[in-house]
Chains A and B, each alone.
Chain A
Amino acid sequence: NAGVTQTPKFQVLKTGQSMTLQCAQDMNHEYMSWYRQDPGMGLRLIHYSVGAGITDQGEVPNGYNVSRSTTEDFPLRLLSAAPSQTSVYFCASSYSSWDRDNEQFFGPGTRLTVL
């Protein structure tokens, strides 16, 4: 198993540009999520999905869109990049139901800089 994979590892954007961060998992997890990590602020939830075709907002969703057309993939789109979106982005996945192991597995992260 590859686990949770993310691409790219690094990205530099100019203000106003758009891009998509890719995330995929091969563990057949129902739940997938995107977090951003900023110094001193822990990991903050951007968007999450409990299954294909179902997405919802997390704590800091503004400026980001997601879709979940398959169980495996959960891309994150930055609509018009702003310097405030400079951060490290982590994708994570897990089983949803209480009778399964709820461990969330994280991808390696994408370090994004917006100039």
Chain B
Amino acid sequence: GENVEQHPSTLSVQEGDSAVIKCTYSDSASNYFPWYKQELGKRPQLIIDIRSNVGEKKDQRIAVTLNKTAKHFSLHITETQPEDSAVYFCAASRGGLTGGGNKLTFGTGTQLKVEL
């Protein structure tokens, strides 16, 4: 089955700096790669996702890049703010393909701390 590795496990940045979180996946058939943000005691919430037919996607201060050849994808947060402090999870799935539905395999998470 799919295996997703995520690094680093903790990341501390100064407010205004950029943060980068990296994930690798093992299943070359995976085609959907979402990123979730989880605040303490809350549910995970999608912040951005990318499909395998796209190499990069941006949404304001957040961007995701995908390298299918190397089987890795990354989350980039620019101009970090204290409210960006949370745990971030990457995931991968064969989204929409027959039989698997939208079965996600998650990375183990990155605790991001944005310091003033």
The chain A residues found within 8 Å of chain B, CB to CB, are 30-31, 33, 35, 40-45, 48-50, 58-59, 90, 94-100, 102-104, 106-109
**Inside 8 A of A106's CB, which chain B residues have their CB?**
43-45
User: Taking A50-B101, A59-B1, A98-B95 as contacts, is the C-beta distance between A43 and B106 under 8 angstroms?
Assistant: yes
Q: Which 6 A-B pairs have the closest CB atoms?
A: A98-B96, A50-B101, A106-B43, A31-B101, A42-B106, A102-B95
| B interface residues, Cβ below 8 angstroms from A | 1, 6, 9, 32, 34, 42-46, 49, 89, 93, 95-97, 99-109
CA distance A50 to B109 in the complex (A): 26
Q: Which of A43, A100, A103 has the most CB of B within 10 A?
A: A43
Give the chain B neighbours of A41 by CB distance below 8 A.
108
Indicate if the CB atoms of B89 and A58 lie closer than 8 Å: no
Contact among A35, A42, A104 for B102, CB-based, below 8 A? A104
Q: Which of B32, B43, B101 is within 8 Å of A30, CB to CB?
A: B101
Starting from the known contacts A97-B96, A103-B49, A107-B43, 6 additional A-B residue pairs (CB-CB under 8 Å) come to A33-B103, A42-B108, A59-B1, A99-B96, A106-B43, A108-B42
- Using known A-B contacts A43-B106, A99-B96, determine if residue A104 contacts B101 with beta carbons closer than 8 Å: no
Pick 7 A–B contacts, CB within 8 A, sort by A: A43-B106, A45-B103, A45-B105, A95-B102, A98-B96, A102-B32, A108-B43
A72 vs B65: C-alpha distance when bound (angstroms): 34
Q: Which residues of A contact B109 (CB under 8 A)?
A: 40, 42
Q: Choose from A40, A43, A48, A99 the contact partner of B101 (Cβ within 8 Å).
A: A48
Given A41-B108, A43-B89, A102-B32, residue A96 in contact with residue B44 (CB < 8 A): no
Given contacts A40-B108, A59-B1, A104-B34, contact A96 B45 (CB under 8 A): no
Q: Chain B residues near A109 (CB, 8 Å)?
A: 43
Taken together as a complex, chains A and B put the C-alpha atoms of A58 and B103 apart, in Å, by: 8
The CA of A44 and the CA of B97, in the complex, are separated in Å by 20
Report A38 CB to chain B, min CB distance, Å: 10
